[in-house]
Amino acid sequence: MRYFNLQLLFLLLLIACTAHAQEPVSADDFSQRGISRFEKNDLEGAIADFTKAIEMNGHELGFCFYFRGIALYRRGHLDEAIADLSKAITLKPNPRFYGDRGNLLAQKGDLDGAIADLSKAIEIEPKFAKAYGDRGIVRLMRGEETAAESDFKKCFELDKTLESQITRAANYIRQKAVLHAKHQAPADVEIVKFSWHETPIRVPNAPPLSAPVPVFTTPVSRTGLRVLGGMEKGDPGPRNEPGPDPFDPLAPPLPDSRAPGAAVRGVEHKFTALIKNTGSKTIVAVHWAYLLIPQDSKDGFACVFTTKTNIPPGKKMELRDQNRSVVLSTDQKAPSTRNRALFKESVLILRLDYADGSSWRSSALPQKP
């Protein structure tokens, strides 16, 4: 009996010691658990752990402030997030820190500050592809089309995998600009008729692409995460690794944080517009937009296209284009064949390029050169 009791006591002590070992003790323990909690979308727990690591004056405080700032941002505390990233930059002038603070400043409306931070990130790490893409987006928001295109080109040269994401983000900015700009109709083009239809497509269960595109994203490299673990230090800025990044400030929600029962479906929208060249010059390119505006709102959806063509004077040509999106099946705001009657439809001619090298624009809205 005594032997049994001793065995039981030893077992209980072993369990207690094991449990105690699993609880954070040092600042590095808290920072590592903070990372684990963030990856599980436990943002409050992550904030608490990074705060504890900071209070204990642990190693690599710059990264602790950075990660806590991103967690705060994901919780909706933009100003506090910017303050934490500023502290991180003071402790460690890391290109990633500058890049993400630039992203958050842009969200706050400080476009000049965003440009300064993203430029600093590029100065520190000239091969930081995502920083070029982000700066291009901010420049596009400021109407600096030529400078934006230069940044996009450099971004894609450094990392071709970013082209789809950055292009979608840029198109979103341009579409919003089309909706809010004042336009005039061209004198030498007649819009005869226009229409659109949708076709369901099979897509994976993925976050919606038809929602506002995450514009300012800069994935954290695994090297950056390893710094807190005391392993070999590296440059956490320019590397991009496959797969979703839980520390991406504007990344889509993690799978377990998505609203229960939210299903997705794919849709392919096909747009057509029949136009007639009523002028005296041959048209070689048409930049146009298909607008779908809710009956009760001035804001809506704009699909912007560029069609290379050849329309001699007096001739007609049908413009065709399409886009694909993944939308929540419960989303009733996006245009569809079921709610089409709720939207006013129109076609805008944004720019005409002629065979003689001249062009016409509908407004002061910046367009691709």
Are residues 227 and 89 part of one domain? yes
pLDDT band at 210 (very low <50, low <70, confident <90, very high): very low
Are residues 352 and 243 part of one domain? no
Are residues 289 and 237 part of one domain? no
**What are the CA-CA distances from residue 174 to residues 153, 225, 289, 319 (Å)?**
17, 35, 10, 20
CA distance 20 to 9: 16
Whether 70 maps to a domain, the answer reads yes
Are residues 238 and 318 part of one domain? no
Are residues 274 and 150 part of one domain? no
Are residues 205 and 97 part of one domain? no
Token pair 């893409």 is found at: 133
Amino acid at 134: D
Are residues 99 and 62 part of one domain? yes
The pLDDT tens digits of the residues spanning 246-302 come to 444 544 444 433 334 444 456 778 899 999 999 999 999 998 988 888 887 767 788
Are residues 77 and 198 part of one domain? no
Nearest one of 249, 227, 248, 245 to 236, comparing CA atoms: 227
Whether 111 maps to a domain, the answer reads yes
Whether 7 maps to a domain, the answer reads no
CA distance 3 to 7: 6
Are residues 93 and 118 part of one domain? yes
Helix (H, G, I), strand (E, B) or coil at 343: strand
Lowest mean pLDDT among 44-48, 78-82, 253-257: 253-257
Whether 5 maps to a domain, the answer reads no
Whether 277 maps to a domain, the answer reads yes
Are residues 144 and 55 part of one domain? yes
Are residues 235 and 294 part of one domain? no
Strands (DSSP E) found in the chain: 189-201, 264-277, 283-294, 301-311, 316-328, 343-354, 359-361
Whether 315 maps to a domain, the answer reads yes
Are residues 193 and 321 part of one domain? yes
Q: Which residue has the higher pLDDT, 212 or 175?
A: 175
| pLDDT at residue 178 is higher than 90 | no
Range of the domain at 314: 188-209+261-361
Assign residue 309 the CATH number of its domain. Answer: 2.60.40
Number of domains present in the structure of the chain: 2
Assign residue 153 the CATH number of its domain. Answer: 1.25.40.10
The structure's pTM equals 0.65
The pLDDT tens digits of the residues spanning 129-153 come to 999 999 999 999 888 888 999 999 9
Whether 367 maps to a domain, the answer reads no
Torsion over CA of 333, 335, 341 and 342, rounded to 10 degrees?
30
Whether 123 maps to a domain, the answer reads yes
